[in-house]
A and B are shown apart, each in its own frame.
Chain A
């Protein structure tokens, strides 16, 4: 069996789990629809029109719902990682490590599987957002999907590394929860970068600039509303290179970890 085929087969492990979570996906979709169509509208009314000076003229509602989609993409990727923690707890990692598969293939397959299943999970939400935004260009949709996959693979790699290093359900909850809260808040998902700059809090601005969530949400914004590029300090090419670097770097670390360090036992 070729290596690529084995990677794809490993990836189907996560897709198999997704198939058995239809009710969960439906509930999440219903909640997201309410969030985009009701709460996002309400929040946008509160925000003054002057914010459009910071969004390159993009209506805050549109700015916001792309941020909400990015947050969902991020939290779903984190949830895939939690599933790996649960698998560790249930001993499934032991099963995977015993399979006649190279460890690097297993690592790539799990990251790809986590990424693709996140993409499928969030696809209905993307359709809702792009319908509201009236995005019909298939190229924009294809690039959005590809970038979402790259971003998600990076986050899944990060969580897998954390889970396998921490080896504790409780500690994983605390640390991943803290990272989750910090990364989302120190990003541009809800506030444009010029607004963050105007606060004068340098660490906040630096964190938001280096944050992969900022790059993901701003990349989608520039893709859909090119005028946002006018206020974004980094262009789409810089953002996508940053995201690819983020994902590839973490994937390489995950591969290294699977090959050299990973063994089960000692889970708390």
Chain B
């Protein structure tokens, strides 16, 4: 049985009259890359900041390796490192000063701190920016400084709040590799994102949160399968389909639409049905020119579950 790294039990967080998160229940397992997916203002950051003990739950509790965030906050903080959504620095700060201070405060001796800071800054392409003031850095570089804090700390649980927002495409891929490497070194990674491509690319399990409530939880394929008739089988045949009987036969696989030589079938678990579809067409003497199976995107899943788009 997989060990729980984080256990969220009936967690509710209110700010005055506003309920940011309502009755959230969730388990995050050791050494997985877990994604919290939802649009801005859905409660992702509030949940992450409470795991990091920055916020206190209004009701319910969160346990990190069995330690309560309300009663054993210091024990929790020893296990958790966080890269914030907005980089945390003032305009007069220099990246190297911030990271060296961070390394010292998380426990590195002076010389070791210098070494590890340089190593991480070089890994993230920050070394050349080390003596620049924070206001001189681009948004993407600032985000990298934020991520560098976690890489220096090497916590048992790394919380990354929109780690690649404002980062250019090339750097995004590099950062995703860094995140996966962090996990391979034994860290449990929790990522909040509203980037479905990032979620698909990096996360193993995902919780979809919308308006403070958990809407779905599972692996990416489980979530995609949760959309009824969400898979699409697109078939291009040699000639236009005029055979009504053949059409009726295809309808057993799902809803069918025909446009000239293109047949589209909306179905569940399309990958399991595609062979039968081809067989049915061949029996009717139809030559298949091209066939393509498309899954619903996470955006489709989100829309199906909430009626909203991820980027509202």
| Partner-B contacts on A (CB < 8 A) | 1, 6, 9-10, 12-13, 16-17, 19-21, 86-87, 90-92, 94-95, 97-103, 263-266
- Of the candidates B53, B88, B90, B105, the one whose C-beta lies within 8 Å of that of A9 is B105
Chain A residues with CB under 8 Å of B52's CB are 97-98
CA of A91 to CA of B94 in the docked complex: distance in angstroms?
17
Closest chain A residue, CB of each to CB of B102: A99
For A21, the chain B residues whose CB sits under 8 A away are: 92
Contact partner of A102 (CB less than 8 A), chosen from B54, B74, B81, B88, is: B74
User: B105–A94 contact, CB under 8 A?
Assistant: no
State A90–B85 Cα separation when bound (angstroms). Answer: 12
A17-B90, A99-B105, A100-B78 known; A94-B16 Cβ under 8 A: no
Query: Would you call B89 and A92 a contact (CB within 8 A)?
Result: yes
B92 touches A20 (CB 8 A): yes
Q: Is the beta-carbon distance between B84 and A265 smaller than 8 angstroms? A: no
Pick from A1, A10, A94, A101: contact of B88, CB below 8 A: A94
Q: Does B55 contact A (CB under 8 A)?
A: yes
Q: In the bound complex, do residue B77 and residue A100 qualify as a contact, i.e. CB atoms below 8 Å apart?
A: yes
The answer to whether B55 touches A103 (Cβ under 8 A) is no
Measured in the bound complex, the distance between the Cα atoms of B133 and A164 in whole Å is: 27
Determine which of B74, B80, B90, B104 lies in contact with A87 in the assembled complex, contact meaning CB atoms within 8 Å: B90
Other-chain contact of A98, B16, B53, B107, B133 (Cβ < 8 Å): B53
How far, in Å, is B177 (CB) from chain A's closest CB? 25
With A and B bound together, what is the CA distance between A229 and B92 in angstroms? Answer: 45
Distance between A109 CB and nearest chain B CB, rounded to angstroms: 9
Inside 8 A of A98's CB, which chain B residues have their CB? 49, 52-54, 77, 80-82
- Find out whether the CB atom of B77 lies under 8 angstroms from the CB atom of A99: yes
Cβ of B300 under 8 Å from chain A: no
A87-B90, A102-B74, A263-B56 as given contacts; A95 in contact with B84, CB under 8 Å: yes
Known A91-B84, A98-B82; judge A266-B16 contact (CB<8 A).
Answer: yes
